[in-house]
Structure 1
């Protein structure tokens, strides 16, 4: 895997986490639905897990090749 591809994939994964985090903060500050807050929190945790898996995979392929 090239450095550029790995950087782009990792950046997209982290960007998605940040977007969902800010969506949850905005919902909380506006006094939105608690169900929406819970859904966004679960989505954020799942995306954080995915981001870690993506970054570990990128690191593995960078060092194995």
Structure 2
């Protein structure tokens, strides 16, 4: 668990979870303004999720190259 790339990927996944929960909470309010806010959070989530997937794939590739 000392691999810095793994730790960064896990933090990115937690960030995605936090953004997802913020978007769901904003959507729960049910007003037009909260729908816009929820949509904004979901766009952020997509970008964060893309970054997390790239980091995970990078981790898998690096681990495959080093043989660990």
Smaller-chain TM-score bracket: 0.7 to 0.9
TM-score under structure 2 length normalisation: 0.81
Which has the larger Rg?
2
Gaps of 5+ in 1: none
Q: Does 1:64 align with 2:62?
A: no
More off after superposition, 4-13 vs 26-35: 26-35
Q: Which runs of 5+ in 2 are unaligned?
A: none
What TM-score do you get using the length of structure 1 for normalisation? Answer: 0.85
CA-atom RMSD in angstroms: 1.7
Q: Which has the higher contact order (CA 8 A, sep 6+)?
A: 1
Partner of 2:45: 44
Runs of 4+ in structure 1 deviating by more than 6 angstroms, as ranges, are: none
